[in-house]
Amino acid sequence: MRGASGTAKSPRASRADPWVRAPRAAGSYAGQVDWIRYDAALFDLDGVLTPTALVHMAAWAETFDAFLAGRGQPAYTEQDYYDHVDGRPRYEGVATFLASRGIELPYGDPSDPPEADTVCGIGNRKNVAVNEVLDRDGVDPYPGSLRLLDHLGDAGIRMAVVSSSANAPHVLKVSGIADRFEVVVDGAVAARDGLPGKPEPDTFLAAADRLGVAADRAVVLEDATSGVRAGKAGGFGLVVGVDRGAGPQALSAAGADVVVADLAELLP
């Protein structure tokens, strides 16, 4: 990341960062993915290609902590993020978390201002925080993810990004990897086309269809259990769980065929 400042958590991960699990030794899964069997790779973005999951996690914590203050509720936790928010469309994440606390709010409208105490208003409040950090600091892709993108590009594997976030094009641009992907299915595309979000498989299936690739010839790469469930439900040829904090057991239980800590482990 470039020039982090302010109180928001930096997008760049460090081994000492409590939000990040220490990775396994690279190569521990080398050779387990026969890329010749597949025609496409469908990547989640935040936490798989870029450490923007850290930005999202910090923005959600800031947003929910401020909302919960004075309501007699326990503090928002990292586990809340993984259980209720991670991988879901933004407003669905808000609604799911609030339901877990027994809090009822009007749904509102996506045009609600960030200060509105509606599901959409809270989601928009969080979005403002994320965009402020991205514009100020930028974000760099994970080095291991870049290595895999280079390998797959050289091998002629077609690639798409499938993200619940409407910020995906912005993140791809500031991270310098937008030109790697033929197709991007993000939260805005899903809303426009009426596609249910993860854990439903529709966004991944739409990306495969737009690439002209059958689901059983595509690999899904996800760090969220909801995304892993989506990949499994879609009948994809392989579902790779990327453990950036959800835990290998949770990813495997959600349906991951292979779990890695870094995409470089998938290199031959």
The residues assigned a catalytic role are 44, 46
Q: Is the peptide bond before 106 cis (omega within 30 degrees of 0)?
A: no
Residue carrying the six token digits 């409407």? 166
SS (H, E, C) the chain: CCCCCCCCCCCCCCCCCCCCCCCCCCCCCCCCCCHHHCCEEEECCECCCECHHHHHHHHHHHHHHHHHCCCCCCCCCHHHHHHHHCCCCHHHHHHHHHHHCCCCCCCCCCCCCCCCCCHHHHHHHHHHHHHHHHHHHCCCCCHHHHHHHHHHHHCCCEEEEECCCCCHHHHHHHHCCHHHCCEEECHHHHHHHCCCCCCCCHHHHHHHHHHCCCHHHEEEEECCHHHHHHHHHCCCCEEEEECCCCCHHHHHHHCCCEEECCHHHHCC
Cα end-to-end distance, the chain, whole Å:
28
